[in-house]
Amino acid sequence: MSSLHFLFNMIWNNKLTEILHGNYQIPANFVNLTFIIFRLEGIITMLINGKYYHSIWPDENDKGKIMVIDQQKLPFFFKTKELCSVEDVYNAISDMTVRGAPLIGAAGAFGIYLATLEITHNTSIGSHLGNAASYLVSCRPTAVNLSWAVNYSLKKLSGITDPDLLSETALGTALEICQTEIDNCRKIGDHGLKIIMEISEKKRGKPVNILTHCNAGWLACIDFGTVTSPVYSAHEKGIPVHIWVDETRPKNQGARLTAWELGTQGVPFTLIADNAGGHLMQKGMVDLVFVGCDRATRKGDIANKIGTYLKAIAAFDNNIPFYSLMPSTSIDFELYDGLKEIVVEERDQDEITSVSGFADGEIRAVRICPENVKAGNWGFDITPAKLVTGLITEKGVCKADEKSIKKLFSDKFK
């Protein structure tokens, strides 16, 4: 039996809780395996109120439930939410209960798993799964991880007709994707740490000031994060770091999520207005810019949260290194020109005309402009490769150009 099948059987037979609490005897030949979905050493890294969490996981007591951290409630309330159907997954991605490119990819894969639970002997499997896949992929168009994960799941299920085997395989695939993204983030952290260490040495131990935009932390990536992974590693090693956290309008993922993450991990940070970054760079108060990525092209253009492009321009003008941190699952090797080929999501104008906050014990939205104002709400922008110092991936750091990317990922180029 493989390590993956062993774990799947444990989940299938409601043994995961016993594993997590040390009440189940793990077979000796599995204890030291490094590739096991929930690592038996340390299992999960992010500790919230004394409990370890990923940002998505299967309910070990109910095969029909996928659990997520409700990111709409943070930082004011820490709540989990059950996803029990394809529709639940679609809505959770759409309303940003779950968000972040790697996480919505994993959620999409779990959505395919939930779709398999609806299959009966009278179901046309191909049509049913194809419809579920198309529906999920249509939810948010910019991040490539969603379509990649859904299509990867379909490929794994191809040719399987037994409903139980379909569900077991789909769950296994979703968990495999989760672990792949966790491992990717861990490696991104290792490579990004070297850059932080180099700057720290040049500054003779003074804090390395890193500016970031939006949230590319463990909430967005299941564990570790992309941008936050090297930050957490540096902090753990005693390397002084300080993070400038953009508020990131209109949904304020920086103010609400990145600030919460860094605070829970004890990393020093300062929250700033989105438009303050250029001023800080001019004053020599930023050493490095780290941003995430929702979709990159094979020549190094990157789509990321709206406002990223302006940070890149300011960094370029002030000779400050600007890196995009991403797993290879966020690179669309089929695309070349980001401005022409990446679809930029447009979201509801209410996100612009109102702001959500905490008052009187509850989360409220208040209007911030006159009534009947027309607003534009583009969720992402495209930063051209010429403004990007480098890409930090699980395979290493490379320049943002086709030749360098191909050197790291030669197997992805046709």
Element (H, E) at 167: helix 163-202
Per-residue pLDDT tens for 12-27? 455 444 444 334 443 4
Cα 59 to Cα 63: distance, rounded to the nearest angstrom: 7
CATH class label, 3-182 = mainly alpha
Q: What letter would DSSP give residue 345? A: P
- Say whether pLDDT at 11 is over 60: no
Residues near 330 by beta carbon (within 8 Å), at least 6 away in sequence: 101, 102, 143, 144, 145, 293, 294, 295, 296
Mean pLDDT, residues 381-387 taken together: 98
pLDDT digits (tens, 9 = 90+) for 96-152: 999 999 999 999 999 999 999 999 888 999 999 999 999 999 999 999 999 999 999
Determine the residue type at 155: K
Question: Taking every pair of C-alpha atoms in the chain, what is the biggest distance, in angstroms?
Answer: 69
pLDDT tens-digit profile of 84-105?
999 999 999 999 999 999 999 9
Type of residue found at 260 = W
Residue 2 exposed, middle or buried by CB count within 10 Å (0-12, 13-18, 19+): exposed
Assign a CATH topology to domain 189-412: Rossmann fold (3.40.50)
Mean pLDDT along residues 265-281? 97
Question: Which residue intervals of 284-355 are DSSP H helices?
Answer: 308-317, 338-341, 350-353
Q: Count CB-CB contacts under 10 A for residue 189.
A: 25
Q: What is the pLDDT at residue 239?
A: 98
Report the C-alpha gap between 386 and 2 in whole angstroms. Answer: 45
Strand partners, 245: 212, 271
**Helix 3-12 vs helix 163-202: angle between axes, to the nearest 10 degrees?**
120
- Judged against a pLDDT cut of 80, whether residue 289 lies above it is answered with yes
Percentage of the chain beyond pLDDT 90 is: 86
pTM for the model stands at: 0.89
State the average pLDDT over residues 381-399: 98
Write out the two tokens for 33.
Answer: 């395996």
Cα angle, residue 76 at apex, residues 188 and 91 outer, rounded to 5°: 70
* pLDDT-based confidence at residue 203 (cuts at 50, 70, 90): very high
Return the H-helix or E-strand segment holding 297. Answer: strand 295-297
Q: Give the H or E element holding residue 206.
A: none
What confidence tens digit (pLDDT) does each residue in 22-75 have? Answer: 344 434 333 333 333 333 333 335 777 778 899 999 999 999 999 999 999 999
Ramachandran area for residue 208 (φ above 0: left; ψ -120 to 50: alpha; else beta): beta
Indicate the domain borders of the chain: 3-182, 189-412
At residue 26, the pLDDT reads 38
Q: Which tokens sit at 265?
A: 């991990």
**Residue-level length of the chain:** 414
Q: Which residues are identified as catalytic? A: 294
Selection from 294, 295, 274 nearest residue 211 by Cα? 274
| pLDDT tens digits for range 208-262 | 999 999 999 999 999 999 999 999 999 999 999 999 999 999 999 999 999 999 9
Q: What pLDDT score does 46 carry?
A: 72
Reference 160, options 194, 193, 197, 128; nearest CA is 128
